[in-house]
């Protein structure tokens, strides 16, 4: 096939003729259709090819090590396309074809295959004035390697041709600026690394080794794992080694010796199947046992490693595996594979013939180009797959295949959505729609970003803003059965959901541990220090490695902050705890005062209710008076939330309840003051119009609006930076002070500032109205009450800032109680005096100021 852009020489024809500079022979499999999807798969382990020359003759490619599961991956894509073509509800009247290539686990071949898919298979074409028709392929499924996908996407992404990988996990591919057209149906390594760390934490493995492949996959995993382990405090890496590509016995011998000498009993391997095949040969040769292996998704399901001969070394392996799925009808489709069905196709299908030769140990005459393992009897094409044992037909554990299946369907659904576009309502310029006759790759990518469907297995498929699918992995365990057989069992899963975040679910009772104790191993650099000693870092060593030295006074380890050493320094005793308690004298006094204030409010409320029809109560909107009494009762009660051991709910509720209660109270007072001023203006000639803005409905609406603003402030504060309980050990070495941290100082300041703003407005209005005639003298009571209120809270700020621990809570409670009592006495004391002791003044005539002396 072709790997370089076309060259257009001069031509005497009407339109110039363009031809590709050079072509390259690739193992492939093709099927025609109205639209074509491309695929890149690892069907061979490696390749041997000659030196590249820019000639017109094909370069002969020789791929070695046929991989039946890899061929099954390619045939899964063919099956998905065949299933879609038979589905009358998806892409009706459109037939999908495919061009599938083998990358032979070699970067240059995979890259060449991708360019061949992008440029097409025609060697010569006319460069017409207008380009019509679909591109050679609408999208590419693949590649399986992260490095290959990076190289391919760097170039193909320039043309916005969609690439949907089923196995490339490098977190770097989530960079939308570098890879704008890259999508994947497998989670990125960033999620896989965090899943590994959760497993390490579950079993307290703090000292582990790391082996990675020598490519982008391994490089980015190393950086991500080191950063995440340091950030989460999950442990330390005893060593980090890079597994070489190709045969390198000396380097593998050195790496295995490092593993043997290390005290780390847990080894994490982020590498490909071929790396583990090479590594295990050396592990067996040096007889390295007693290790707990943790496998990445690249080799967790590798059947070639799950053999009885390797179980003494790899038994008990825990691995992250791609989500398993079900694809009904796949095995029947695989059984239909036959070279006779494709032999006469003009597209050529070398992969089918190579699979046939590998499976039946025969050869076609002549041997196909690119096949080194020709030999044995001639193939007839009539051999029966049912009568041969091959991994190709094993569909019991479909993992990469399920991702391939989802990738093909994602492209199909995107194309279907595009073809259902209504002209004049499209998403492109002038509301136009894309059509197959003038389709641009970026137009299909637009629909691929928005695709959302559910597979027959029940899994939802969609892509986030980075092109990543919703992450989920199975946790697998390699079981070594008593009869010598092996089995890979599912022992849990790790997933990310919108509501619960990242979650590890593990059935520890099912896990097989390949140790005599049948228990998980210990993997630590240094054992925990015994009583009477503390940890001392070893110079030049990770934080997990330390010596144990005699404790200084008051400490035995870095994890005993809730305890204090005994006088003999040989064991821990609980530290004293301090918080504003209901059982100490200060707490009892504040609680009693709060309950008394609540009781007085109830008494005044009862008095006003009983005398609700008298002039003193009805004057200046009695409804607001009742609201003030109710809010004052809430103010007294909310102070109780500051007493007792801080909990999450009390920390969140105490300031919210305090802020909303006081704003309700002060807003009622503000409205009362405004009404006093309005009534006075209305008593003057021509001033009656001012009262229409202060009816009962307007007064209620103003109170509700002002209180709603404070509720919004409290909600935003709790959601963005919620107050939370905190154990403070900074005040005293031998004492823990329980307190509520405000979370956001700005939120607390805005809450207090809003209360202060309303109080100052009320004070100013009442102060300006203090000299009004005596029949409107409630303004004097409001002025005095607001003066007390502001004085208390101005004094509160410095006292609160300079009070440590429980005394800060006591200061805030005192401020709440003092200001509440000030408002209660100043506003309702004179009225209760008239109602109870001077009833002769509780008349309309006296209240209106006619025929009575001044009080």
**For residue 682, pLDDT beyond 80:** no
Q: What is the pLDDT of residue 687?
A: 52
Residues above pLDDT 70, as percent of the chain: 83
Q: What is the pLDDT of residue 685?
A: 57
DSSP state of 367: P
| Residue 4 or 220, more confident | 220
233-237, 266-270, 708-712: which has the minimum mean pLDDT? 233-237
Q: What is the pLDDT of residue 570?
A: 57
Other CB atoms within 10 Å distance of the CB of residue 438: 13
Span 683-689, mean pLDDT? 56
| Three-state secondary structure call for residue 127 | coil
| Residue 317 or 694, more confident | 317
Res. 838 pLDDT band, cuts 50 70 90: confident
| Helices 648-682/696-720 angle, 10° precision | 150
68-72, 327-331, 647-651: which has the minimum mean pLDDT? 647-651
Task: Give the pLDDT confidence of 779-834 residue by residue, as tens digits.
Answer: 777 888 888 888 888 888 788 777 777 888 888 889 889 989 988 898 888 888 88
Distance between CA atoms of residues 418 and 540, nearest Å: 60
Q: Which residues, at least 6 apart from 329, have a Cβ–Cβ distance to it below 8 Å?
A: 79, 83
Q: What is the pLDDT of residue 96?
A: 95
Distance between CA atoms of residues 153 and 168, nearest Å: 12
Task: Give the pLDDT confidence of 736-784 residue by residue, as tens digits.
Answer: 888 888 888 888 889 889 988 988 888 888 777 766 655 445 677 788 8
**For residue 93, pLDDT beyond 80:** yes
Task: Give the pLDDT confidence of 619-635 residue by residue, as tens digits.
Answer: 766 788 888 899 999 99
Q: What is the pLDDT of residue 752?
A: 87
| Three-state secondary structure call for residue 480 | strand
Span 199-219, mean pLDDT? 90
Res. 130 pLDDT band, cuts 50 70 90: very low
Task: Give the pLDDT confidence of 439-480 residue by residue, as tens digits.
Answer: 888 899 999 999 999 888 888 889 989 999 888 889 999 998
Span 478-501, mean pLDDT? 84
| Residue 638 or 48, more confident | 638
Distance between CA atoms of residues 567 and 549, nearest Å: 17
Q: Which two tokens stand for residue 689?
A: 């119009």
Q: Which two tokens stand for residue 390?
A: 């091959």
Q: Which two tokens stand for residue 830?
A: 């004179």
Evaluated on CA atoms 357, 361, 366, 369, the torsion sign reads positive
Which value, to the nearest 10 degrees, does the dihedral of the CA atoms of residues 703, 708, 713, 719 take? Answer: 160
* Cβ atoms of 237 and 542 closer than 8 Å: yes
Res. 578 pLDDT band, cuts 50 70 90: confident
Q: What is the pLDDT of residue 766?
A: 79
Q: Which residues, at least 6 apart from 81, have a Cβ–Cβ distance to it below 8 Å?
A: 31, 33, 37, 96, 97, 98, 408
Q: What is the pLDDT of residue 693?
A: 61
Task: Give the pLDDT confidence of 712-739 residue by residue, as tens digits.
Answer: 999 998 888 888 888 877 776 667 888 8
**Mean pLDDT in the chain?**
82
* Cβ atoms of 626 and 605 closer than 8 Å: yes
319 forms beta bridges with 295, 476
Q: Which two tokens stand for residue 218?
A: 């391994």
Q: What is the pLDDT of residue 288?
A: 92
Please report where in the chains the tokens 């009805």 appear, as a residue.
Answer: 618
Q: What is the pLDDT of residue 262?
A: 92
CB burial readout 700-726, b (16+ within 10 A) else e: bebbeebbeebeebbeebbeebebebe
Task: Give the pLDDT confidence of 237-292 residue by residue, as tens digits.
Answer: 999 999 998 788 999 999 999 999 999 999 999 998 889 999 999 999 999 999 99
**For residue 183, pLDDT beyond 80:** yes
Q: What is the pLDDT of residue 254?
A: 95
Tell me how many degrees the CA angle 805-809-810 measures, rounded to the nearest 5: 105
Q: What is the pLDDT of residue 560?
A: 47
Q: What is the pLDDT of residue 688?
A: 54
User: Which value, in Å, is the radius of gyration of the alpha carbons in the chain?
Assistant: 39
**Which run of H or E residues covers position 502?**
strand 501-506
Task: Give the pLDDT confidence of 415-441 residue by residue, as tens digits.
Answer: 999 999 998 888 988 889 988 888 888
Q: What is the pLDDT of residue 199?
A: 93
Q: Which two tokens stand for residue 777?
A: 């003298």
Q: What is the pLDDT of residue 367?
A: 54
Give the strand pairing for 533-537 and 546-550.
antiparallel
83-87, 510-514, 578-582: which has the minimum mean pLDDT? 578-582
Other CB atoms within 10 Å distance of the CB of residue 848: 13
Give the strand pairing for 6-7 and 17-20.
antiparallel
Q: What is the pLDDT of residue 498?
A: 64
Span 656-667, mean pLDDT? 90
Q: What is the pLDDT of residue 78?
A: 96
Q: What is the pLDDT of residue 9?
A: 42
Span 178-183, mean pLDDT? 94
* Cβ atoms of 643 and 591 closer than 8 Å: yes
* Cβ atoms of 670 and 758 closer than 8 Å: yes
Other CB atoms within 10 Å distance of the CB of residue 802: 10
Q: Which two tokens stand for residue 258?
A: 């490092």
Q: What is the pLDDT of residue 362?
A: 87
**Which run of H or E residues covers position 35?**
strand 35-41
| Residue 5 or 463, more confident | 463
* Cβ atoms of 100 and 30 closer than 8 Å: yes
Residues above pLDDT 90, as percent of the chain: 33
**For residue 138, pLDDT beyond 50:** yes
Res. 690 pLDDT band, cuts 50 70 90: low
Q: What is the pLDDT of residue 7?
A: 41
Task: Give the pLDDT confidence of 345-369 residue by residue, as tens digits.
Answer: 433 578 888 899 899 988 877 655 5
Tell how far CA 148 is from the center of its chain: 27
DSSP 465-478: TTSPBPPEEEEEEE
């Amino acid at each position: 096939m072709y790997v370089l852009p076309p060259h257009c020489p001069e031509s005497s024809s009407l339109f110039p003729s363009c031809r590709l500079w050079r072509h390259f022979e690739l193992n492939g499999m093709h099927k025609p259709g109205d639209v074509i999807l491309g695929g890149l798969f690892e069907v061979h382990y490696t390749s041997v090819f000659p030196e590249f020359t820019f000639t017109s003759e094909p370069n002969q490619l020789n791929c070695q090590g046929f991989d039946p599961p890899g061929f099954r991956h390619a045939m899964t894509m063919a099956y998905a396309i065949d299933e879609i073509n038979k589905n009358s509800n998806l892409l009706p009247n459109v037939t999908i074809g495919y061009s599938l290539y083998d990358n032979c686990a070699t970067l240059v071949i995979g890259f060449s295959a991708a360019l061949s898919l992008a440029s097409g298979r025609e060697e010569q074409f006319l460069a017409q004035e207008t380009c019509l028709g679909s591109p050679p392929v609408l999208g590419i499924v693949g590649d399986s390697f992260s490095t290959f996908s990076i190289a391919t996407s760097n170039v193909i992404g320039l043309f916005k041709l969609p690439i949907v990988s089923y196995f490339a996990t490098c977190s770097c591919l989530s960079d939308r600026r570098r890879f704008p057209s890259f999508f994947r149906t497998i989670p990125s390594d960033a999620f896989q690394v965090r899943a590994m760390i959760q497993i390490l934490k579950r079993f307290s493995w703090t000292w582990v080794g790391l082996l990675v492949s020598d490519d982008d996959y391994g490089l980015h995993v190393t950086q991500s794992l080191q950063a995440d382990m340091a950030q989460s405090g999950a442990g330390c890496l005893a060593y980090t080694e890079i597994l070489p590509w190709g045969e390198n016995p000396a380097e593998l011998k050195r790496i295995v010796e490092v593993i043997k000498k290390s005290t780390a009993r847990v080894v994490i391997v982020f590498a490909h199947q071929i790396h583990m095949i090479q590594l295990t040969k050396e592990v067996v040769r040096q007889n390295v046992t007693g290790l707990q292996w943790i496998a990445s998704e690249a080799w967790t399901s590798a059947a070639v490693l799950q053999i009885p001969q390797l179980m003494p070394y790899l038994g008990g392996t825990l691995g992250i595996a791609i989500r398993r799925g079900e694809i009904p009808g796949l095995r029947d489709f695989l059984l239909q594979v036959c070279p006779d069905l494709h032999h006469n196709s003009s597209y050529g299908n070398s992969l089918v013939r190579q699979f046939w030769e590998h499976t039946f140990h025969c050869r076609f005459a002549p041997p196909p180009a690119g096949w080194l393992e020709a030999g044995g009897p001639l193939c007839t094409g009539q051999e029966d797959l049912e009568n041969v044992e091959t991994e190709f037909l094993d569909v019991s554990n479909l993992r990469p295949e399920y991702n391939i299946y989802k990738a093909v369907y994602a492209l199909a659904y995107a194309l279907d959505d595009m073809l259902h576009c209504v002209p004049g309502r499209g998403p492109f310029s002038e509301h136009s729609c894309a059509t197959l006759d003038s389709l641009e790759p970026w137009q299909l990518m637009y629909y691929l970003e928005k695709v959302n469907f559910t597979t027959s297995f029940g899994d939802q498929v969609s892509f986030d803003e980075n092109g990543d699918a919703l992450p989920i992995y199975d946790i697998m365990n390699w079981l070594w059965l008593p009869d010598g057989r092996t089995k890979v069992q599912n022992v849990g899963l790790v997933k990310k959901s919108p509501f619960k975040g990242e979650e590890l679910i593990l059935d520890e009772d099912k896990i097989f541990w390949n140790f005599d104790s049948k228990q998980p191993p210990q993997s630590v650099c240094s054992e925990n220090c015994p009583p009477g000693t503390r940890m001392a870092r070893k110079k030049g060593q990770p934080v997990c490695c330390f010596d144990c030295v005699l404790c200084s006074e008051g400490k035995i380890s870095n994890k005993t902050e809730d305890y204090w050493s005994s006088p003999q320094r040989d064991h821990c005793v609980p530290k004293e705890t301090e918080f504003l308690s209901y059982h100490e004298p200060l707490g009892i006094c504040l609680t009693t005062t709060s309950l008394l204030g609540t009781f007085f409010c109830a008494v005044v409320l009862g008095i006003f209710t009983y005398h609700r029809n008298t002039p003193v109560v009805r004057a200046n909107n009695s409804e607001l008076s009742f609201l003030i009494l109710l809010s004052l009762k809430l103010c007294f009660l909310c102070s109780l939330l500051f007493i007792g051991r801080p909990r999450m709910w009390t920390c969140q509720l105490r300031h919210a309840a305090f802020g909303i209660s006081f704003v309700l109270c002060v807003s009622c007072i503000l409205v009362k003051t405004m009404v006093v001023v309005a009534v006075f203006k209305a008593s003057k000639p021509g001033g009656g119009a001012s009262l229409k803005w202060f009816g009962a409905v307007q007064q209620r609406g103003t109170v509700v609006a002002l209180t709603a603003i404070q509720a919004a402030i409290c909600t935003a504060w709790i959601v963005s930076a919620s107050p939370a309980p905190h154990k403070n050990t900074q005040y005293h070495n031998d004492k823990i002070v329980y307190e509520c941290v405000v979370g956001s100082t700005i939120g607390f300041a805005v809450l207090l500032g809003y209360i202060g703003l309303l109080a100052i407005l009320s004070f100013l209005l009442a102060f300006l109205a203090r000299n009004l005639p005596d029949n409107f003298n409630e303004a004097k009571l409001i002025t005095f009450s607001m003066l007390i209120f502001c004085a208390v809270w101005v004094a509160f700020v410095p006292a609160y800032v300079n009070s440590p621990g429980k005394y800060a809570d006591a200061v805030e409670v005192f401020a709440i109680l003092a200001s509440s009592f000030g408002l209660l006495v100043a506003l309702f004391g004179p009225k209760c005096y008239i109602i109870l002791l001077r009833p002769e003044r509780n008349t309309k005539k006296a209240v209106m100021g006619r025929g009575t002396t001044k009080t």
